[in-house]
Structure 1
């Protein structure tokens, strides 16, 4: 498995936004995710938290939030679960 880096994080965000594009605010989320992917991996991760050996979160600049339920083998974008008033 590949570690979560900026390129992988942006690709995951685009995949999630494409899946949810028909939801309220989905078009804006998709545009933002594509912009993040086009920008490249320049948005740093700032902190990592694990509640146990399987469940964790990584947060980064520009409202990046990803969650794992398998000890970091895979990560899911979690931005849509948190309010961001910008």
Structure 2
């Protein structure tokens, strides 16, 4: 079980009061704790797809960036976007 109050207490212990108070307001620990609790109680659904999903696109681009290729990254990304758009149109 996640608790927001202990996290705030620990935060204030190590941060000067004014700065800690400002950061606590910006980060909204209690809201973050509630969100994490909902995630912990939720169901994880894993689905295999034929292609990567739009959520995976940034990860795919990062992988392409690390791979050595004579093709420019921008050109590879453009081609991936075109493939995704064609697949979307074909699936409708």
Q: TM-score, normalised by structure 2?
A: 0.29
Q: What TM-score do you get using the length of structure 1 for normalisation?
A: 0.30
The structure with more helix, counted as a fraction of residues: 2
Largest Rg, 1 or 2: 2
